Structure 1
């Protein structure tokens, strides 16, 4: 008798699903399975693994390649207690750099770090963390499900920190100090344990800070000088969004999850460009059958050199690329399934997911790729801006680089 796998995602095809090489943006895609034990994969357009890192912590939550060829990786600090039921799902605590062979070169720890840590080439790290609000401060937070605070009637509020290579605190920001409670209330369906739930933090070219506030459905720009809010997305423009990034023309590319989207009874996710001057949506991608693409949590989008967009449908472990006119030209489903280690998370997510928080594409101009293990072992990977080049030891660069995200809109 044949036993049928009861994991719906695992029953479906995995690996490379679709590829149109005439339309896809050349390069290599980096991802870290969320329920892995510390594996990070770099794959080519055909879904073949060309490099793999093995790190000592499970992801908390993603990895990026940096300009010196090292890997920036955010891991989960072992042995920490759950501050509230969802804490083990998205906490981190370890921010490290690793060599191509996986050797840890530098590490910074903060047990209250969660979601995002943006590593800069000069060794600084900008990241999100928590601080407890109790008593009157907790009561001032608006919205959410009444009585759903964390232990001790605590509301955990977000902070943003920047540390130097030696761990010295260089800059910090507190939501409790700079956010108007009335202007940034929690959605009525959310627990009051965490406010406003910053899931992304990125420095802008002008030095200010771009942040995504999920539980209040807002993208904001924070003044690095004063800490004040310089800009926010229009109400209703985004719904529980993730991963805003700045494009070359100043617009913001946002993964808009679409949970509780006003005026829509069928939820769907989309990727949008927001014009910062007008606040209007200047470009949008959603699946032709909108309900077929819906990520209730997590997700990201990255603009590629040829104007295409790489999308991470995180809960489904689905990575895909679309052109400006919405043509899907590459699709890959992560084949790595496993359960979360913490019992608190297993209770909330009992299946064995293949989830990925974010994926990144690194561009190269040369089409021929050597994937033999011996070749890879003698190779270092380096990023220049946001592009990838391959350099063999003792040899001149074999690939030219192109800046990522600079291509003109077609």
Structure 2
């Protein structure tokens, strides 16, 4: 009886494991419906590429609007949240070098070449501070970084914090500007600290005492929804025209603008810089309760992310776009993308009437789903205005990217399948326009061969296109492919390909390596013969099984793939 019960228990456990693995870790190649368009040939969808780094993956992806993976970068670390591309094509990627609470912790920043070589590896982490969430690339090449600094409960109380609202530590945000000086080094050339701009009316015997309502340029140390991670600043942006910085403070449900034209000394005070206000807040919006200028009914932001100025050349340029997560929104659990028109003049000065809330009273554009609760991301997420007026949105909690028109029609949608369907969360995405000056090489396609018999002959194809100006001629050739396997390309080069030709198909044949149970990764590099800087990559993945048996029946093939991916299952069934 005991043996029978033991067998039943074992079968039940195996069944639960199988169900969990099937629904959580199905390989991306087996996922379906990752890409949706309003119509298959919808030309309204964005041109260019999207860059993103799944939270649960060490790989960063660049995809086009067909969902094709254009390039990947592999790191030793999970992302410290954000990733960006530099003008030279290099990748700037935050790195989670330490795993600590709360969310968004990073500690590292790396610059990688197109081929994945790390050329800058900077850390900002010790017992006193830790970088997190987001970065911003300045026009001079310096990098703005968000970071926590740790204060003791005694320090927080001395600054006027209510002792009933303090945890084991008190984390306050600051910003540093880093200038690269070497492969692993950088100088901090400017910094700004929230700690220098506090106000409180809780205890007149402590520092920073004053009337909160009379000082909207300061931050009430006793206002916020978190006791430990007080501000949880989760995004940073830069306005070159005004030399100002925009940050999103999750803890206060607000966005803040500060002056970057100050020296570090001025940034710690209340005078200096273009504004004459030092490091004090120039503009804030989203929750006027934070400075005693409104009630809960006046609150606009609820756990917001990714506040940014709309870029020059895009409809609404100079306005502020924010992903409003809707966390604890009184009207219900739904997210929105909000655009506001800040009351700023040509010199970067913001109008304000003392005793009132900063304008505007309402957003000038807002996206929600037709049924609002159908669109909800309680954390992460972002949005970006495109040059054609459409808005690209990242539902980060569910790994869904989609594009909407100004009329709020969805014309493109993509569900991130990496690293697996139910662990596909993404902090934010960034869109990059394709350059189309002269001939411009583009390749479409990838190779993903799994359960391949050793020595097996495989074939496939990819497309080469000239996406440059009309009338241009593209001369291309294959210059690199994997050293493993025996490869044949038909053809290996081409001449005089025009945009009007649409595309050229390259047939690929390869004999798989003779090693069992091994994964192979590589890429095919195709270059423009007249411009070596113009190239594209076709990614390759190949995996051989434990032996030469090749399963043809779909169900057996799937089960074998599942078992081989997870050693615990292989041991059980062996």
TM-score normalized with structure 1 length: 0.79
Partner of 1:254: 322
Q: Say whether the 8 Å CA contact 1:212–1:243 is kept in structure 2.
A: yes
Change in 2 beyond 3 A, CA 1:298/1:200: same
Q: Which residue of structure 1 aligns with residue 338 of structure 2?
A: 272
| Match for residue 218 of structure 1 among 254, 268, 272 | 254
Inter-CA distance 293–62: structure 2 relative to 1 (3 Å threshold): same
Residue 69 of structure 1, CA deviation: 1.4
Deviations 1:112-167 (A, max 9, x none): 001112233543110111112224442357689x5561xxx311111111111121
Q: Give the aligned partner of residue 238 of structure 1.
A: 301
Find 1:395's aligned residue among 531, 541, 564: 531
Could you tell me how far 1:362 is from its partner in structure 2?
A: 1.4
Residues 160-175 of structure 1: pairs in structure 2 closer than 5 A: 160-166=175-181, 167-175=186-194
Give the alignment's Cα RMSD to 1 decimal: 3.2
Q: Which runs of 5+ in 1 are unaligned?
A: 339-350, 380-389, 400-410
Higher relative contact order (CA 8 A, sep 6+): 1
* Contact 1:9–1:316 (Cα < 8 Å) also in 2: no
Q: Which residue, 206, 223, 226 being the options, matches 1:191?
A: 226
| d(CA) in 2 for partners of 1:96, 1:45 | 27
3-state SS of paired residue (1:315): helix
For structure 2, the 5+ residue unaligned runs are 1-14, 201-211, 213-218, 263-277, 288-298, 344-358, 447-461, 465-476, 481-525, 536-574
Per-residue deviation, 1:252: 0.2
- In the aligned structure 2, how far is the partner of 1:91 from the partner of 1:222? 23
Alignment counterpart, residue 36 of structure 1, candidates 28, 43, 57: 57
**Contact kept? 2:253, 2:286, Cα under 8 Å:** no
1:56-83 superposed Cα distances (whole Å, 9 cap, x missing partner) = 2211112111111111111111xx463x
Aligned: 1:67 with 2:87: yes
- How many residues align? The count is 363
**What aligned pairs does 1:3-402 form with structure 2 within 5 A after superposition?**
4-5=19-20, 13=32, 15-20=34-39, 21-37=42-58, 39-77=59-97, 80=98, 82=100, 86-87=101-102, 89-111=103-125, 112-120=130-138, 122-139=140-157, 140=159, 146=164, 149=167, 153-166=168-181, 167-181=186-200, 183-184=219-220, 190-205=225-240, 206-224=242-260, 225=262, 226-235=278-287, 236-247=299-310, 248=312, 249-261=317-329, 263-264=330-331, 266-277=332-343, 278-279=359-360, 280-337=362-419, 353-364=423-434, 369-371=442-444, 392=528, 394-395=530-531
After superposition, give the CA deviation of every residue in 1:96-127 in whole Å (9 maximum; x if it has no partner): 21100110111211020011122335431101
- Separation of aligned partners in 2, 1:42 and 1:81: 26
Larger Rg: 2
Question: Does the CA contact (< 8 Å) of 1:178 and 1:228 recur in 2?
Answer: yes
Mark the CA change 1:169 to 1:365 in structure 2 (over 3 Å): closer, same or farther. Answer: closer
Q: Deviations over 1:149-186 (max 9, x none)?
A: 1xxx3111111111111211111111111143555467
